[in-house]
Amino acid sequence: MKVLEVKNVKKKLGKKEIIKGISFSVEEGEIFGFLGPNGAGKTTTIRMLVGLIAPNEGTIQILGHDIQKDREKALANLGAVVENPELYGYLSGRENLMQIARIRKVPKEEVEEIIKLIGLENRIGDKVKKYSLGMKQRLGLGAALLGNPKLMILDEPTNGLDPSGILDFREIVKNAAKERGMSVFVSSHILSEVQHLCDRVAFINGGEIKSVEMVNEDGVATQKDTMVIVTTDDDKAVEVMKELEAIHSVNIYDGEVVVSIDKGNSPKLVQELVAKNIEIIEIYRKHKGLEQRYMELVEGGVR
């Protein structure tokens, strides 16, 4: 089920077109990354997703409700942590959550569940002005989770956090998505954070989405494998490989043959080389990291 669906959305600020017809969707329970450099259009997109500004063209739907035509129902399913959470420093963490819970008619039992989920049981009675940045980010996430939204929007959620805070925040988001079946949309320019957190990622630059791709712990899950091969006769190996249909490119770098091949065809490649009496000294798959893919799509090539 599509929890968020964005179709051909465009946005002008003054005469300048900031968002140039973007389309994507987020599935139920999915953690979806929105990755791009500063000025790419990430913040403008998020402001449209949470209803702060309206698109000039296109539609945004949350659980099938158009955010322009059926705003109340669409936003009822939405939680968001945009930049620094707005919290009352003179109140305790629990009092902050209870204020929001009363407005949203959320029972106290759910507030206590949220406190456990965000790991603030030992400090929830302290005034928020005594909280570290990481604790404030956790509390802001807890506030957004009240009411059990089906979609969570996070804008640069780990900005300013130390490595320990980033790890904690990441686990909280993953657990919330898993336990509550919640979809998460994460906007960031931090490549490692997106790679460790997200299931899919959209690469945006210049107001356009360049690609939407699957992500795993090794990098981008593409339809091609990059294989590195060392043989006793690299020149002959290259000639053989260029004749194979599954091969997209073959190059020699620093005494190694680097091959782009359709996923699942590596065994056939080995069989062909052996059949041509080419001795293979070493062969391994080179994982395509998110950084490399980012440079290809956003920066126009690998540096």
Domain boundaries, the chain: 2-219, 223-287
Cα–Cα distances (Å) from 188 to 38, 82, 195, 243, 247, in that order, read: 9, 11, 11, 42, 34
The tokens describing 114, both together, are 């949220």
Which CATH topology does 223-287 take?
A: Alpha-Beta Plaits (3.30.70)
Supply the pLDDT for residue 259. 83
Task: Please give the chain's pLDDT, 303 residues, in tens.
Answer: 899 999 999 999 888 999 999 999 999 989 999 998 888 899 999 999 999 999 999 999 999 999 999 999 999 999 988 766 778 899 999 999 999 999 888 999 999 999 998 889 999 999 999 998 888 888 988 998 998 899 999 988 877 777 887 888 888 888 888 888 899 999 987 787 788 888 899 999 999 998 888 886 655 555 667 788 888 888 888 888 888 888 887 877 777 888 878 877 888 888 888 888 888 888 887 655 677 777 767 765 443
Among residues 22, 27, 28, which one has the least CA distance to residue 40?
Answer: 22
Supply the pLDDT for residue 299. 65
Residue 157 dihedral angles phi and psi, to the nearest 5°:
-70, -20
Which of these CATH numbers, 3.40.50.300, 3.10.580.10, 1.20.1050.10, 1.10.287.1080, describes 2-219? 3.40.50.300
Q: What is the pTM of this model?
A: 0.75
Supply the pLDDT for residue 85. 72
Q: Rounded to an integer, what is the distance from CA 181 to the centroid of its chain? A: 17
Beta bridge partners, 31, equal 184
Contact 230, 278 (CB under 8 A): no
Residue owning tokens 């599935």: 27
Contact 257, 281 (CB under 8 A): no
Cα–Cα distances (Å) from 181 to 110, 159, 193, 227, 254, in that order, read: 16, 25, 21, 37, 48
